[in-house]
Amino acid sequence: MEYDLESAFKQPGCPICTMIKKSMDSYFRWFENESDHLLELLISLSRGGFCRDHAQQVAASVKSDLNYTYAFIIRTRQKEIKQFLQETALIQKKIFPYREKNDPHRELNRIISSEPCPVCDLIQKTGTYGSAMIARKFEDPINRELYRESAGLCWEHCANTLLIAPPEIGLFLLEDHLQRLEDLNREFREFFRKQDYRFDHEPKGKEQTAWVRAMELLNGRPYSF
């Protein structure tokens, strides 16, 4: 992953966002090839599975069907709910004695509780790793100069890195982020200047898309781009 971060400096957009996107692409390829025969993964998915957004991304990313994978998940959930209903009915009929350990509410909590979405978990772990790596690598002034030439961290990942970075690195990141804001502000001033009828004949430049770079700096790049 260390190489991924260095190469991400050369890509458009936030380097950590780029790392996350690459990790997600790798996960989706792995999932397509392995999901139907890894029992641990199948059990985990049957206890939670993907969130709404990432389920849609999985469906759009894989090139083969997932019938074996989702057949296991559906059957596992069916079995758990059926067992719960049967045991609850026996308790209500007093055929099965009530005990605290088989309290229906406790069993219901077991059924409806879920494990986190594996892609959400991957995003969080990759982001945390990227922030820690940046905080360490920026101890070298050469890496700071490489970073200055990159698109910079989005605010979310910049803020996360600030929380764990030594004070010197934190100050560098804030000063760099401020410089990027000032550069964007100059582009916006140029954009609005050319809106003036006195200057609207001038050729349009990159100031016309300043809002795109501002959005990426503040909100990051979408992981599905």
- Output the pTM of the full model: 0.79
- Residue 207 has what pLDDT? 93
pLDDT tens by residue, 25-61: 999 989 888 877 788 888 888 888 899 999 998 888 8
Tens digit of each residue's pLDDT (9 = 90 or more) over 98-127 = 455 556 566 666 667 678 899 999 999 999
Domains of the chain, residue spans: 2-116, 119-219
Least Cα distance to 35 among 83, 70, 87 occurs for 70
Tell me, what's the pLDDT at 105?
62
* pLDDT reported for residue 225: 43
Specify the residue for token string 């069916």.
78
Q: Which residues of the chain have pLDDT under 50?
A: 95, 98, 225
CA distance from start to end of the chain:
20
DSSP three-state, residue 85:
helix
Judge contact between 189 and 172, C-beta under 8 A.
no
126/123 Cα distance (integer angstroms): 5
What is the pLDDT, as a whole number, of residue 107? 63
